[in-house]
């Protein structure tokens, strides 16, 4: 399967792969695609393919972009603004390369001023577009992304690390209020009939229950690394496990990050409530087999690159649930503890 991953990247995403393998600038590659390839190499056990010089080059890419939570710089970043989600994702890359290639936060952030007001309000609550209160999956990228960015800075060697780490915990505590009102799941809307209309429309393309679970996962990723208890963990596990059991072989047509959201939330909620059930362990084993088959035969040009890291991370989560010590990609990895986002 490692060979299949290499072939897929070399055939369909040669430029971002060359960035990491050969430390060659990739002018037409998006920031997201650079992140996708690094995460994929990490999760496929192919980190030996990464050129150490590429990690510094990636920091230079970030240095040229406008990042949420940071203002100014020596020359003033001129690139396009980076979204909350992609900033958390890019900081995840810096976190993944740090053990082998060093801490590049100083290079990426330069002389910029830390501006947490971009991320959280005066009460410490993550900021998000108020017009999206009906769409919990989309808004969760802000609710979880802000604590993720703060947590990443907090674990770095940046001078603002201590403040960022404290603010990350404050943001997670503030987010608990939205979970409490939703019985363990996000609830931001106030008019129930309008929410039901939205869910009916959303159901034409996606299962709204999947959106609820996926959205909650984005917040609990950082609670997981921070060692915080999940609000109503038993109810979270019950509802998430039901989704996990019902959707086969994958959450939607092909595996991607939503599969990871569900499986990771099952695993981590189970850790907080007494252990994984035999049914969920059996379901994880079956999903591993389906992923084996998918990686071996279905990595084609029409499979979006951004789906691959989520699919690989799902494989590792299933292996962890099944207590498998060695997989085709090596020892199971907890990508959220490694990167703080995906």
Could you read off the pLDDT of 300-316 as tens digits, one per residue?
999 999 999 999 999 99
Residue-wise burial string across 133-159, b where 16 or more C-beta atoms lie within 10 A, e elsewhere: bbbbbebbbbbbbbbbbbbbbbbbebe
Express each pLDDT in 210-233 by its tens digit. 999 999 999 999 999 999 999 999
What pLDDT score was predicted for residue 195? 78
Is 10 a residue whose pLDDT tops 90? yes
pLDDT digits 0-9 by tens, 264-286: 999 999 999 999 999 999 999 99
Q: Is the pLDDT of residue 101 over 80?
A: yes
Residues 6 or more apart whose CB falls under 8 angstroms from that of 152 comprise 88, 91, 92, 94, 95, 340, 341
Kindly tell me if the per-residue pLDDT of 75 is higher than 70. no
Mean pLDDT lowest for which of 36-45, 131-140, 193-202? 193-202
Query: Over the stretch 149-176, which tens digit does the pLDDT of each residue have?
Result: 999 999 999 999 999 999 999 999 999 9
Rounded to whole angstroms, the Cα distance separating 95 from 102 reads 9
CA angle 290, 225, 32 (to 5 degrees): 60
| Residue 53: pLDDT over 80 | yes
At residue 79 the predicted structure's pLDDT band, cuts being 50, 70 and 90, is low
User: Does the pLDDT at position 111 exceed 70?
Assistant: yes
pLDDT at 71 over 60: yes
**Taking 80 as the threshold, does the pLDDT of residue 74 lie above it?**
no
Mean pLDDT over residues 284-305, rounded? 95
- Which pLDDT score is estimated for 209? 87
């Amino acid at each position: 399967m490692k060979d299949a991953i290499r072939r897929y990247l070399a055939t369909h995403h040669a430029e971002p792969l060359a960035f990491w393998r050969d430390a060659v600038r990739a002018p037409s590659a998006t920031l997201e695609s650079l992140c996708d390839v690094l995460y994929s190499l990490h999760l496929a056990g192919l980190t030996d393919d990464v050129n150490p010089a590429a990690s510094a080059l990636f920091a230079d890419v970030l240095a040229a972009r406008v990042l949420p939570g940071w203002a100014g710089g020596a020359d003033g970043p001129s690139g396009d603004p980076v979204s909350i989600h992609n900033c958390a994702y890019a900081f995840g890359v810096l976190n993944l390369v740090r053990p082998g290639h060093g801490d590049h936060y100083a290079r990426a952030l330069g002389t910029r001023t830390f501006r947490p007001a971009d991320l959280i309000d005066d009460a410490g609550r993550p900021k998000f577009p108020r017009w999206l209160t009906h769409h919990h999956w989309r808004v969760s990228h802000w609710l979880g992304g802000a604590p993720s960015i703060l947590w990443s800075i907090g674990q770095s060697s940046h001078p603002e690390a201590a403040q960022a780490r404290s603010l990350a915990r404050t943001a997670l505590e503030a987010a608990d209020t939205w979970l409490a009102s939703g019985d363990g799941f996000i609830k931001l809307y106030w008019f129930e009939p309008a929410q039901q209309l939205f869910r009916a429309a959303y159901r034409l393309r996606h299962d709204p229950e999947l959106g609820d679970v996926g959205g909650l996962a984005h917040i609990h990723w950082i609670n997981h690394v921070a060692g915080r208890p999940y609000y109503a963990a038993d109810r979270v596990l019950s509802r998430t496990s039901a989704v996990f059991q019902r959707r086969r072989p994958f959450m939607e047509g092909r595996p991607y990050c939503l599969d990871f959201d569900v499986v990771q939330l099952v695993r981590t909620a189970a850790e907080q409530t007494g252990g994984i059930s035999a049914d969920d362990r059996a379901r994880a084993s079956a999903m591993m087999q389906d992923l084996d088959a998918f990686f071996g035969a279905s990595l084609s040009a029409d499979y979006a690159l951004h789906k691959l890291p989520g699919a690989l991370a799902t494989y590792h989560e299933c292996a962890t649930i099944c207590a498998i010590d060695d997989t085709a990609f090596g020892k199971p990895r907890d990508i959220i503890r490694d990167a703080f986002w995906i």
